[in-house]
Structures are given as C-alpha cells and as structure tokens.
Structure 1
Amino acid sequence: MRSQRRHGRSVAPEPPRYPERMPIRVEPDETQAKAARLRAGILSLAVGTAIFGGKLVAWRLTGSTAVLSDALESVINVVAAALLLASLVIAARPADRDHPYGHGKVEFFSAGVEGTCIAIAAVLIVIEALRAIVRGPSIRNIDVGLAVVVATSLANGLLGAHLVRVGRRHHSLALEADGRHVLADVITSVGVVAGLVAVRVTGKEIFDPLVAIAVAGNILWTGFGLVRVAVGRLMDEAEPERLAAIVEALAAARAPEWIDLHTLRTWRSGHLQHIDFHLTVPRYLDVERLHAIDEAVGKRLSEATGLPTDVIVHFDPCRPRHCSSCRVEACPLREAPFLRADPIDLERALRVGPGELEPLRGHRGEGAA
C-alpha cells in the first residue's frame, strides 16, 4: 500500500486518538498514607515497650525459662520497632539529588534486620532453655505468670494484626514485617502458656524449657522468611504475580498500534512501583501521540498494580517484518498483508529484546520528499 502525496511529500494517515482519561482506581492521598504508616510505627514502639515491661515482671515473679524467652523476644520487638520507625521516617522523604528514586528501599533493609533479630532471639531462647535443663528449672507463682502472659499475648495479637493490615494497605514491607514479628511473638506466648499449664497440671517443671525450645524453632523460621523477602526486594527480584498482573493489564488495554512488547522489567522502592518496557509502534507516529500512549499506559498500570507507579516506555519503530502482525488498517507504509497479531503474554513480554532490526529497504524516512 502506497502513501498519499501532497506537494511532493508523503502524508501519514491520522492515527486513532487515545482518550484523555482512562478509568482508574483512585489511590489514597500519599500524604495520608505516609501519616498512617508513621502512626502505626509509633504505636508499635509504644505498645511493644509496655508489653516487654509486663513480660519482664512475669519472669521475675515466676522464674520461668519459657517466660524469660518470651521477654527476650519482646526486647527484640522493641529494638525492631525503633528501627521500623526510623525506616518509615527515612522512607517518607521525597526523592533528592543523591537519591533520585527516593528512599523507599530502606524499608526492605529494616525488614531484613528485623528478620535477623528474630533469628538471634530464637538462638538466645534455646541457649537459656538448655541452661535451665542442665541446672534444673525452678518455677513459682504460676497463676500470676499465666495471667500476665495471657494479657500481653492478647495485646500483641491486636497490635500484630493492625500492623500487618496497615502495611498491606499502604504497601509497607517494613510495617508488614514488624506485624508478622509481633504475631510470631504471640505464638511464642501461646507456647509459654501451654508450658506453664503443663507444669501446673503435672508438676513436672521440665516442660518449661522444652516448650521454650519448641517455640524458638517456630520463630527462627519466621525470621528466615523475613530475611528472604527483604533480600529479594533489595536485589530487585522479579515478582511473578505482579508481572502477570502487569502483562494482563497491557493485553487488555492493547490498541492496534501496539505491534510488539518486550523487555518488561519491574522493581519496587518501598511502596513505589517502577516499570519499564519496549513497545514497537508504527514509525510514523509523532511525539505527541507517543506521549499520549505513555500517559495512558502509566494510568492503566497504576490501576492494575494497586501501587503508585512510575512507568517508562521505550518506543521502537516498526520494520517491514512487522507488517504481517500489525493491525493498523490504513498504514501508508505497509509492505505485506496483515496475517496475525503477536500476543501480549508473559513469555513474550519478558524477552530481553526482539533481535537485530533490519534496515529500512527503499525508505529514506517518512515525511521525506
């Protein structure tokens, strides 16, 4: 198909117009989201400190190794909460010249340190339990200890659930990690209560350190999981579910001018999602049209991921080999009939590149005389 000519110049057809606005889910105001994260961090530190004090009193009253192990983990909770609050304050800072992508990744560092702290607490619990086994446990005031541990466990459960909920709602891995840590502490406390009840019923104090060791294994696994996720985020590990959601959104929003898509990459900095990919389009599209495509894609992907999104689209010009997969009907540069559009799927989107592009044969450039 040949292009029309006007005054000796080829004239490209008017490409379809993109809508000025696309329906998207409205995200909460980012200032409010930051404030909510900070409030949750302050609450975690305040409640964690109070709970540690209660468990320390329970240990002094009972002499229980299991209660001491629970108190040791609460110390880690307080340290982790302080670290969490610091990371949230830093992450809330806007991007600057030294940190052009913002400070969000400090949350991943915080989550990794917290996971390490959990693992350290587990080791300390095992050491103390083994010492109690060697020297023989000595427990007193079991009823008082049970009451204090149950009360602090309930407070911890409410706090942990709140932190996880706020972390997920506002996309804060550090808050979610702290919430999981606190919930792991609840499991520890449940084990402690079970041990004290067993001692109370049977009179055999050996149950106390044995329960402490069993609980330590559980929180060690929790710590490992947090470190694993934090390291993955710091190294920009791919998130298959999020990539699939991105590709699905792009496929649903596809326009005839979207000939091919490849080299899709995504990574997160705190709550901000960064996405970039290459999009092959008709080579006669002007800058204004390409900008409109870029804006529309950014809005669509922000809706699909549920996160504030920064999208960069690298536009590749089509080549004659793309004619058979190009759905643009009134193309003035077509050299072959349309056969079948290449699908936009995960496998094709993750290709590193389409290969070398052949030179334009018989074209000096669109718009040239």
Structure 2
Amino acid sequence: MSANSDISNADLTATTDDRFDQPNRRGRPGRLRPDDSAVITRRITALAVGLGLFMAVGKFVLWGETGSVGVLASLVHSMLDMFGAIASFVAVRFASREPNPEYRFGFGKAESFSAVFQVCLIVVGAFHLLQEVIGHVGHTHAVSQSGPAIMVLMFFIALTLWLIIAQSWAIRATGSIAVRGDRAHYIADLLANIFVIIGIALATYTSLKWADAVVGGLMAIWLLFTAVQIARLAWGQLMDRELNADERRSIERLAMADNHVRAVTELRTRAAGPHLHIQMRLDLDETLSLAEAHEIILGTERRIMAAFPAADILIHPHPAGCGHAHGNSRFHTSKA
C-alpha cells in the first residue's frame, strides 16, 4: 500500500473519531479558528464592559442611599469587574492580530497580560475593602432603605447570572483565558451580591448589626481567593505550560493514525490566547523516500489541524531506530 493511500485512510478515521469527541473539544485552546474565536470574544467582552458600567453606576447610587458597607464592597467589586472587562475588551482584540515578521508567534499572550492586570486590580480592591471593614468595626449602624436595596441587588444578581451563562458559552467555544478571568470576576460579584443581601437583612431585621461589616470582610477574602485562581491561569500561559495530558494524548493519537509513523517523540505544546503551538518529532521507516515522508508529514498536519484549527504545527521527520537526539539536551522531554 502506498503512503498516500495510508494517509487518506488515516485522515478519514481521525475525522470520524473526532465527531464522537465533541464534548472534549469545548473550552480548550486552539479548537476554533482564530477569526471565529475573535468574533465571540469581542462580543462577549463588549457585553461585559456595558453591564459592568451599568451595575457600577447603579451600586454607587445604592451605596449613597443606604450607606451599607456590604453595598460598598459590592460597588468596589463591580468597579473592578468593569476595569477588568475593559482590559479584556482590549486584550482579545490585540491577541487576535495576525503574526508579523517581528512577532512570528503572534500576540495571543496579550490575554494573559490582561489577566495579570485583573489580578492586580483585585488585590488592590481587596485590601481597600479590608481597610473599610476595620474602620467600621465597633461603629455599626442600621442600613437605611434596606428593602429597595435588596430588590435592586436581586436585579443585579439576575443580570450577572445571565452574563456568566453567556461567558461560559464563550469559554466553551474559545477557551479564552481573558474571558475566564472576566467570568471569575463576575462569579465573585454574583456571590458578593448574595452575601450583601444576607448582610443587609441581618443588620436590618435582627440584632446582628455587625453582620454588614462582616460581609464586607468575607468579600475581601473572596477577592483574594479569586486573584489566586486567575493568577494561576495567567502564569500557565505566560510560562508556556504544556497542554493537559488528555490534549497531548489526543495530538499523539492523531499523529499515530498513519501506519508509517512508528513513534511520536519530543512533543511540545503551548497555548497563547486563541492560538496553539505544537512541535514534535515523527519516527518514520528509514526506507521511505523524502517525497513519501513529506506526504506523511502533510497528512499528520491535516489531521491535527482538523481538531485544532488554530494550531501552528512544526514536525521533524526522523528515521526510526536512530538514537540521535536533536537540539539542546536541556530541553529533551523523554522524562516527561
């Protein structure tokens, strides 16, 4: 059987298998064409900016009417949401730009820098809230206009929940780290509003007048926890962390779908915003001609690109059985 016929059969098998792998394709980097990913991330970040501004203004008015520390905590959180959403709004547009001669790997890591900026905002906001809480301890006061405040906050909860659902869909489609950071903000904001309602109710309708300040303190702690979660996501991309084991096995399976491929070695992967960079070595039969080896490499690229349309792929053919390792030994991944 010729190399070309083997490639065609392998491509067909990989495509058929991939149809049954649809649930695993969601929320992973490189699984969507960059242009399609850009359309989704641009729309969802624009929506997040608009809702963030609306809720920040609404909570500022509400804080002026109630004087609640819990509402102030939620207001600070919404301001952070808005600035973080603006950072994501800019980052996803910059990350979708095409590579140029100076930046051959593209601009995808702009999303990670956006996440770092969000972490800084969250930490600053958390310590500001802790300062406010400490200032109010021992100086408790009843919350005014508590009934209308609770109604307004419930409306904001509904808006935030709707946005989180939309962001979750966008993440499932694109795997965007910038949108993940935004969603973490708004999930925290959703919980913040719930805690604030509880704090206002306890401070107004029970003898627990200190509950409002306690809610503010809990929100400050929650903000710091959120910062750690987003920082871990950003760190992984900025430091070129490998894709998870399932994704790497998927890439290896696609590469091995051709019978002429004896082994896949030195596989390296890294995500950068909407893009994915993959490089590997394929061990091939040493009797194959250069043209046949080239066709096998092209078939492998097509199979991987079908599953990872945003992938940039570099494959090095290598004669099977040759023990020579190429490149700097410091970066060999045989121990991985």
Query: Aligning the two structures, in what range does the TM-score lie when normalised by the shorter sequence?
Result: 0.7 to 0.9
Partner of 2:219: helix, strand, or coil? helix
**Which of 250, 269, 275 is the equivalent residue of 1:266?**
269
Matches within 5 A, 1:5-24: 15=3, 17-20=5-8, 22-23=11-12, 24=15
**Which of 315, 318, 321 is the equivalent residue of 1:316?**
318
Give the share of equivalent positions with the same residue, in percent: 21
Match of 2:149 in 1: 145
Q: RCO greater where, 1 or 2, for CA within 8 Å and sep 6 or more?
A: 2
Code of the residue aligned with 1:282 in structure 2: it is: D
Q: CA deviation at 1:118?
A: 2.0
> Which TM-score applies when normalising by structure 1?
0.78
Q: CA deviation at 1:300?
A: 2.4
- Whole-angstrom CA distance in 1 between matches of 2:284 and 2:209: 75
- Whole-angstrom CA distance in 1 between matches of 2:323 and 2:216: 68
- Whole-angstrom CA distance in 2 between matches of 1:49 and 1:122: 19
**Which of 283, 287, 298 is the equivalent residue of 1:284?**
287
Deviations 1:124-152 (A, max 9, x none): 22211111114334421111211111111
Code of the residue aligned with 1:310 in structure 2: it is: D
Once the two structures are overlaid, the 10-residue window that deviates more, 84-93 or 32-41, is: 32-41
Q: Contact 1:59–1:68 (CA<8 Å) still a contact in 2?
A: yes
Q: CA deviation at 1:352?
A: 6.5
**Which of 61, 78, 82 is the equivalent residue of 1:78?**
82
1:125 aligns with 2:108: no
- Whole-angstrom CA distance in 2 between matches of 1:32 and 1:71: 34
> Which TM-score applies when normalising by structure 2?
0.85
Gaps of 5+ in 2: 20-30, 325-331
Gaps of 5+ in 1: 1-12, 323-348, 354-369
1:34 aligns with 2:22: no
Q: Contact 2:3–2:295 (CA<8 Å) still a contact in 1?
A: no
Q: Contact 1:264–1:351 (CA<8 Å) still a contact in 2?
A: no
Code of the residue aligned with 1:67 in structure 2: it is: V
Once the two structures are overlaid, the 10-residue window that deviates more, 275-284 or 50-59, is: 275-284
Q: Contact 1:165–1:176 (CA<8 Å) still a contact in 2?
A: no
Match of 1:295 in 2: 298
Code of the residue aligned with 1:228 in structure 2: it is: R
1:95 aligns with 2:99: yes
- Whole-angstrom CA distance in 2 between matches of 1:320 and 1:164: 47
Q: 1:103 to 1:204 in 2, by over 3 A?
A: same
- Whole-angstrom CA distance in 2 between matches of 1:237 and 1:187: 31
Deviations 1:71-128 (A, max 9, x none): 0111111111111111011112111111111111111111122133223222222211
Q: Contact 1:48–1:77 (CA<8 Å) still a contact in 2?
A: yes
- Whole-angstrom CA distance in 2 between matches of 1:192 and 1:57: 15
Code of the residue aligned with 1:237 in structure 2: it is: R
Code of the residue aligned with 2:7 in structure 1: it is: P
Match of 1:351 in 2: 334
Q: Contact 1:40–1:163 (CA<8 Å) still a contact in 2?
A: yes
Partner of 2:7: helix, strand, or coil? coil
Partner of 1:275: helix, strand, or coil? strand
Matches within 5 A, 1:104-115: 104-115=108-119
- Whole-angstrom CA distance in 1 between matches of 2:181 and 2:174: 13
Once the two structures are overlaid, the 10-residue window that deviates more, 43-52 or 310-319, is: 310-319
Deviations 1:151-208 (A, max 9, x none): 1121112112212321231221101210121111101111101111111220432100
Matches within 5 A, 1:177-256: 177-241=181-245, 242-251=247-256, 253-255=257-259
Q: CA deviation at 1:281?
A: 1.1
Q: 1:220 to 1:319 in 2, by over 3 A?
A: closer
Q: 1:14 to 1:103 in 2, by over 3 A?
A: same
Partner of 1:259: helix, strand, or coil? strand
Q: Contact 1:164–1:177 (CA<8 Å) still a contact in 2?
A: no
1:61 aligns with 2:65: yes
Number of corresponding residues: 312
Q: Contact 1:111–1:177 (CA<8 Å) still a contact in 2?
A: yes
Q: Contact 1:279–1:314 (CA<8 Å) still a contact in 2?
A: yes
Q: 1:168 to 1:14 in 2, by over 3 A?
A: closer
Q: Contact 1:80–1:117 (CA<8 Å) still a contact in 2?
A: yes
Q: 1:196 to 1:291 in 2, by over 3 A?
A: same
Q: 1:283 to 1:121 in 2, by over 3 A?
A: same
- Whole-angstrom CA distance in 1 between matches of 2:219 and 2:187: 13
Structure with greater Cα Rg: 1
Code of the residue aligned with 2:116 in structure 1: it is: G
Partner of 2:266: helix, strand, or coil? strand
- Higher helix residue share: 2
Partner of 1:45: helix, strand, or coil? helix
Code of the residue aligned with 1:150 in structure 2: it is: M
Partner of 2:248: helix, strand, or coil? helix
